[in-house]
Amino acid sequence: EAQVTQNPRYLITVTGKKLTVTCSQNMNHEYMSWYRQDPGLGLRQIYYSMNVEVTDKGDVPEGYKVSRKEKRNFPLILESPSPNQTSLYFCASSSVDKSSYEQYFGPGTRLTVT
């Protein structure tokens, strides 16, 4: 089954404790992206990656890091989480084929930083 998986699904942590949210896709997609979803703001892009070792900032990158060492994996790293990073996070992937613009989303990770 074609899918994007994220782990963990739920995470409660304290300010300053480093954490990583994993993302993996099995569709051989070149493009992967992280979004955060906040009430009244929709989904906002944090970082994206065009391919292995190619990453770039999205619209709200402050406080986040990413890496793309393998095509299927795109982890999101919060080096020193703060309460304003409490949010619902989604990983997504898509082909860069211009005939296919659909992005496939993972199930989400709900993060609470106290």
Partner 1 sequence: QQQVKQSPQSLIVQKGGISIINCAYENTAFDYFPWYQQFPGKGPALLIAIRPDVSEKKEGRFTISFNKSAKQFSLHIMDSQPGDSATYFCAASRLFQGAQKLVFGQGTRLTINP
Task: Enumerate binding residues for partner 1 (CB under 8 A).
Answer: 4, 30-31, 35, 40-45, 48, 50, 56, 90, 92, 94, 96, 98, 101-103, 105-108
Nearer to partner 1, 21 or 92 (CB): 92
**Dist. CA 20–CA 107, nearest whole Å:** 16
Q: Which is nearer to partner 1, 35 or 74 (CB)?
A: 35
Q: What's the CA gap between 23 and 41, in Å, rounded? A: 23
Largest CA distance in the chain: 43
Of 14 and 54, nearer to partner 1 (C-beta) is 54
Min separation Cβ 86 and partner 1, Å: 18
Q: Report the C-alpha gap between 91 and 81 in whole angstroms.
A: 18
Shortest distance, position 16 Cβ to partner 1, whole Å: 28
Rounded distance between C-alpha atoms, residue 64 and residue 107, angstroms: 20
